[in-house]
């Protein structure tokens, strides 16, 4: 799977219309904890508030923290998946359909 960045699309609507599954994180100034691999090869870790932009201490490259994440399809049901909301409301029918299904460890 190739990663697609927001900059490759002229509009957010075209970005949202892609066929690949994806997620978009809405930053709200909360804590960020991430491991980073810089283009210079440095492996770094960050725990910070309001980390919209970061800088590598080795090569001094600046980065924007994108809200884009890939959703990777699985061939099995993981233990305790979190059900996504549909139009802001939890779809309880899916819960009912899945109640007898055994999770894969």
Closest CA to 84 of 19, 17, 23: 23
Token code pair at residue 1: 């799977």
The predicted-structure confidence for 28-52, as pLDDT tens digits, reads as follows 767 888 899 999 999 999 998 888 8
Average pLDDT over residues 60-87: 84
Indicate the pTM of the whole model: 0.55
What is the H or E stretch that residue 33 is in? strand 31-37
Question: Contact, 103 vs 78, CB < 8 A?
Answer: yes
């Amino acid at each position: 799977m190739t990663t697609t960045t927001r900059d490759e699309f002229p509009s957010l609507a075209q970005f949202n219309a892609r066929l690949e599954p994806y997620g978009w994180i809405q930053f709200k100034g909360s804590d960020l904890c991430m491991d980073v691999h810089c283009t210079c090869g440095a492996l770094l870790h960050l725990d910070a508030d309001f980390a919209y932009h970061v800088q590598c201490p080795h090569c001094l490259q600046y980065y924007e923290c994108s809200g884009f994440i890939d959703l990777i399809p699985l061939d099995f049901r993981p233990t305790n998946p979190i059900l996504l909301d549909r139009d802001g409301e939890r779809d309880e029918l899916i819960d009912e359909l899945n109640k007898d299904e055994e999770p894969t460890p």
